[in-house]
Structure formats: structure tokens, C-alpha cells
Amino acid sequence: MKTLIIYANPDKTGYCGQYLKELEKKLKEKKQNYEIIDLYEDKFNPVLSLEEHYTSGHKKISKEILNYQKKITESNSLIFIYPNWWNSVPAILKGFFDRTLTPGFAYKYINKIPNQLLKNKKAIILSSTGAPKIYDFFIMKSRFIKTVKINTLNFCGIKTKSFVIYSANKLTDKHKQKIKKKVEKGIYYLFK
């Protein structure tokens, strides 16, 4: 089994960095094979070019994207680590989805009905938001999670569970303990 971690934050000292640190520790303890795609370190270009834009009749996929798709194909489990920015994902992660989860790879339409092509995969989302849980749930409707979990990953067939730290304004020892517990629950979900 192989796990692929997609990290979408330029900073590794805050909440997302703590998730990554705790996650690597747990995966090593469990002797799980994993790889990290750090979109910022890779200097990933999130802009979908006209040449890659499928709905305009173009079908060129870069070597970089083919490599990412290969890594997704070879992985049983996917882990997405990102912060909530403007009730959404960082642009670099949105671009990763736009450019990587292409028709014919992640899904295809058969008789105008979407067919999921990544059904054999499980994923977890590890995220943080400065918003209190009640505000995110009732006012913002947890869009920053639903967009990824339901509209993107589930659409492609990937069974996904999310774990969020709310009121994430200053990384405290209490929050580090919450992160540790969320990582443990996420690992349990992926490997049970």
C-alpha cells in the first residue's frame, strides 16, 4: 500500500505544518510507504492553459501532470493538507485539481452521466480555519471542505473523510493535541 500526501501551504510552521509533522510520525510508526507532493516546493503552476483545457477540444497533458496522475494511480490512500483561505482552498490546490483530475483519468461521461474512475481510493482532508465551528457550519456551510470532499473527490469516486481544527488563530499545545488526535482518526479511517 502507498499513501500520497498533497501539501498545499507555503508555511510549514503553523497548523498545516503540524498536521504534516504528526502525519509523517504516524506513517513511519505504522511502516506505511508514503510520498509527499509539496505544491509550493514543486513550484506548481495552478493555471490551466488552453492546451490542457479539455472542453475546448484540446487534450495535451504535460509530463508534470502525467507524473502526478501516475502517483495518484499508484496510491491507495490520498491525504490533502491545506488551510481554509476565503472559505476555499488555496489557489495552488484548486489548480492541482483542475489540471490533474482530468476527464479520462478521474472521471468520464457515459451517456451524459458521470462515471467515477478513482473508486478504489480513500482520502482524508486535514485542514484548519480561523473561523469558529459554529460560524463555519451555520453561516459558511463548511464550503471549504464540501467543495473538495463532495464536489471534487467524491465526484471522482474517492471516499473521503475530513478533519478540521476550528478557531485556528494561534498554534497552542491544546491545538497540537487536537491535531494529533485528528491524524490518528484519519490514519485509522484510511487503514482499517
Got the DSSP string for the chain? -EEEEEE--S-SSSHHHHHHHHHHHHHHHTT-EEEEEETTTTT------GGG-GGGT-----HHHHHHHHHHHT-SEEEEEEE-BTTB--HHHHHHHHHHS-BTTTEEEETTEEEES-TT-EEEEEEE-SS-HHHHHHTSTTHHHHHHIIIIIGGGT-EEEEEEE-S-SS--HHHHHHHHHHHHHHHHHHH-
Q: What is the pLDDT of residues 116-160, one digit of tens each?
A: 999 999 999 999 886 656 756 656 667 778 889 989 999 999 999
Q: What domains lie within the chain, and their CATH numbers?
A: 2-191 (3.40.50.360)
Q: What is the pLDDT of residues 8-36, one digit of tens each?
A: 999 999 999 999 999 999 999 999 999 99
